[in-house]
């Protein structure tokens, strides 16, 4: 369902399927001065050369993923719009299935608040693109995840949000906003953070 809607609204997005645990990384900063530049990647084994966001999948549910790039969302003038790194969802998603938006920030602790605020903007923007195109409905829970793979002082969202904001987003938009470096898929309707 979600995959079909993504293909209709954004035919240039590539949906990849995985039926196991995945590790999501962003090599952009690490390789920006190298001849062979890399960006966001999804690995089936934990990479040894970079810290990652771990999406556990002990239930072996097949998930669809889309990695976003500078051409994923553009305005009427062709200008790149802000977006997060990627989205994941159950391949057999139904009206109450989860959708997981992920933004990774590789930064030192001193830059955490600035980068977390930027990540929040990117996540909410991408979520709004999907809502506008009716890829996700009001019954679907959306997990908006900020990952700081180089940090281990989770949860990160406490740096930039209040408990009342978190409750409001859950109540009004069915959004769970969290700052973590891993999540576990329970089933098609729930993720454990």
Q: Return the pLDDT at 123.
A: 97
Alpha-carbon separation of residue 1 from 14, 68, 135, 140, 143 (angstroms): 15, 19, 8, 12, 18
Q: Return the pLDDT at 110.
A: 67
What is the rounded radius of gyration, in angstroms, for the C-alpha atoms of the chain? 16
Ordered alpha helix ranges (H), 41-133: 112-132
Buried b (16+ CB within 10 A) or exposed e, 8-29: eebeebebeebeebbbbbbbee
Q: Return the pLDDT at 144.
A: 97
Q: Using alpha carbons only, what angle is made at residue 26 by residues 21 and 32, rounded to the nearest 5 degrees?
A: 155
Model confidence, pTM: 0.94
For each of the chain's 193 residues, which pLDDT tens digit applies?
899 999 999 999 999 999 999 999 999 989 999 999 999 999 999 999 999 999 999 999 999 999 999 999 999 998 999 999 999 999 998 888 999 999 999 876 667 777 888 999 999 999 999 999 999 998 899 999 999 898 876 666 767 788 899 999 999 999 999 999 999 999 999 999 9
């Amino acid at each position: 369902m979600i995959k079909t809607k993504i293909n209709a609204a954004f035919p240039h997005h590539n949906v990849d399927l995985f039926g196991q645990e995945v590790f999501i990384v962003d090599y952009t900063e690490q390789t920006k001065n190298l001849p062979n530049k890399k960006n966001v990647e999804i690995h089936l084994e934990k990479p040894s050369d970079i810290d990652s966001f771990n999406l556990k999948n002990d239930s072996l549910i097949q998930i669809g993923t889309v990695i976003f790039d500078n051409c994923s969302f553009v305005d009427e003038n062709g200008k790149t719009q802000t977006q997060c790194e990627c989205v994941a969802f159950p391949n057999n998603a139904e009206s109450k299935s989860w959708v997981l938006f992920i933004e990774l920030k590789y930064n030192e602790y001193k830059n955490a608040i600035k980068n977390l605020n930027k990540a929040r903007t990117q996540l909410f923007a991408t979520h709004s693109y999907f809502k506008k195109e009716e890829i996700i409905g009001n019954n679907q829970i959306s997990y908006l995840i900020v990952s700081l793979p180089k940090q281990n002082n989770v949860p990160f969202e406490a740096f930039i949000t209040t408990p009342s904001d978190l409750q409001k987003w859950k109540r009004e938009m069915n959004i769970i906003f969290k700052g973590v470096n891993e999540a576990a898929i329970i089933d098609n309707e729930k993720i454990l953070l």
